[in-house]
Structure 1
């Protein structure tokens, strides 16, 4: 019986859950480690994201006989140019639109309340539970608005509190680009030759998975942001730049992000003019159809190979457990875990004795 995979699987499962339970009991021991990891998480994750975005440009410059160090310097100069352009030409109009939108907040709130009342008065029969939910929502719209504003300012406060960590990102990025080929040999140097070869393949697969996902998702998000900005400007939507930039960042959350970013744009569009709201919704639907049918399949379709329903379930579960951070990192984390499991499963199949029956 001990030779059967079912028995071994149950033993491994029990040991795994026992280990998790013990780690939970002794969590205070690992708290300093968690604090240390949290302190370096921002520069490492930020530099890692920029690494996968900029590394193709460095490789392209190397192909045309540009020394790698000079190629890295050129990429850093391009990043500085992008930052300067953003500071002088993009951030000021966004700030002006945010201030204008904040001033219009009470009017938008009142309009939402009126629309809900009009809809409610036009209904002959509304279940009591629905009626109570609507009344509660209408009575607390002001409170929800204040909570949203508080959340935004809390986010901004946290952002500026981590600003120092962002200063370290260029240093991490420089050494990631410069010494990228030294990382895997450094890790595999501690293992035997056979295990080092297997670990090298695994790390290369993880690197390829992360690189393809981040580069693809960034390109998809940028494409959607540009399409929405053009569409919003054509239909005359107020605060078009804000909603386009918001959609660009929300699109980093696969499948759910684009639709979540559409809600405030459509609401403001209807507040501005009913037809503007309709055309805003049309622009959003057209942009999403182009993305899901043309852009994303060609860029992301061959990378993840994950069913859309699986992605949505992963995002919802991670968001409920971790919060907003889980929404962003759930899919790439799942892709990495899937790569690791696939690697070890294939290694197991190669080492399984020939002719042994599979009891599954």
Structure 2
């Protein structure tokens, strides 16, 4: 009885396979080494995309594209300058006063007296105030490091400034050119995927622009409402708390809750009644936002799931810090479009037309 020979599988590694593998390794290494540059390029693309609707509106009125982009940049600088000029001094004053609230509670706890009687160590902590080392783990070491490493700190700030200038210059260059972003994508894309990547970006850009406009409008509305409401209640730090409310609006679901915590805490430093009124005020604002403002301004025109936004913000902050937070939602939007196309492709293979 003879045994049948086993089938043998031959693996052939061609020079093309080796070349592609080496190219992938080199590409990953280059991405790692040039990570900061890649982030700046992505930030420039997002910023150029954000002002593209305004640029097209001005060009439609027969204004030259370069002049239109320059006008938009000048308006942004003027608005930021005006905001800093009018709001920065009272904002700094609010922050300075707010840092003194808790130590003052030790000498005049008011209705919180019974609470402090049960927890005397908290009262002693408030009397002594807070230090960086007590509030943040390793804060004292950080403060000492900053004090002894002035050169390193200045170098870090200088690099950040240079990066910001390069991002602005690149975004200006992309904005001035007609279809500048699309041309840039064609330049860096593989030939066979060029058309698809440009189409993917054009679809994603519309959603990114709508999301940015919606979030700016939502943050502005909530910030103004909180500022006006707290001003009516006579809260000293209404401007600071309104700005915090506007900033936290970038975080779906949990943002309004996080913004309410300091406002309610400050309200309770006035009196129990004031604290409860402030708590009720924030609840009303949140309900007003959830059932009226958010559905009209954001959800219906964008369609990005809130959970995806939260995950994107967490991952972006972990990977690239503040710049990662800025790029998180735009990149998540592109990912959603990419997955949608992949799903459509799978269905077309299973159920061909």
TM-score (norm 1): 0.70
Structure 1 position 96 matched with structure 2 position 93 = yes
Q: 2:195 maps to which residue?
A: 197
Instruction: Report Cα offsets for 1:197-230 as digits up to 9, x if no partner.
Output: 3333212122223222222222211221111111
Instruction: Report Cα offsets for 1:96-151 as digits up to 9, x if no partner.
Output: 11122223342257888994962895xxxxxxxxxxxx999889885688425959
Q: Residue 287 of structure 2 is aligned with which of 286, 289, 298?
A: 289
Runs of 4+ in structure 1 over 6 Å off: 109-114, 134-141, 151-154
Q: Residue 61 of structure 1 is aligned with which of 58, 61, 66?
A: 58
Whether the 8 Å CA contact 2:43–2:327 is kept in 1: the answer is no
Whether the 8 Å CA contact 1:108–1:268 is kept in 2: the answer is no
CA distance in 2, matches of 1:284, 1:84: 30
Q: 2:228 maps to which residue?
A: 230
Q: Residue 249 of structure 1 is aligned with which of 208, 228, 247?
A: 247
Please state how far the C-alpha of 1:160 moved relative to its aligned partner: 4.2
CA distance in 2, matches of 1:112, 1:39: 52
Give 5+ residue unaligned stretches, structure 1. 1-18, 122-133, 356-360
Deviates more, 1:207-216 or 1:239-248: 207-216
Residues matched between the structures, number? 313
Q: Over the residues paired in the alignment, what is the CA RMSD in angstroms? A: 4.1
Partner-residue secondary structure (3-state), 1:168: helix
CA distance in 1, matches of 2:299, 2:71: 31
Q: Residue 270 of structure 1 is aligned with which of 268, 271, 282?
A: 268
Residue 82 and residue 319 in structure 1: after superposition, are their counterparts in 2 closer, same or farther (change >3 A)? closer
Please state how far the C-alpha of 1:342 moved relative to its aligned partner: 0.6
Structure 1 position 341 matched with structure 2 position 349 = no
CA distance in 1, matches of 2:48, 2:331: 17
Q: Residue 259 of structure 1 is aligned with which of 253, 257, 260?
A: 257
Give 5+ residue unaligned stretches, structure 2. 1-20, 147-152
Please state how far the C-alpha of 1:283 moved relative to its aligned partner: 2.7
Q: 1:301 maps to which residue?
A: 299
1:71-90 equivalent positions in 2, closer than 5 A: 71-90=68-87
Please state how far the C-alpha of 1:74 moved relative to its aligned partner: 1.1
Structure 1 position 147 matched with structure 2 position 131 = no
Q: Return the index of the structure with the highest Cα Rg.
A: 2
Whether the 8 Å CA contact 1:51–1:176 is kept in 2: the answer is yes
Please state how far the C-alpha of 1:329 moved relative to its aligned partner: 5.4
Residue 306 and residue 177 in structure 1: after superposition, are their counterparts in 2 closer, same or farther (change >3 A)? closer
TM-score (norm 2): 0.72
Partner-residue secondary structure (3-state), 1:107: helix
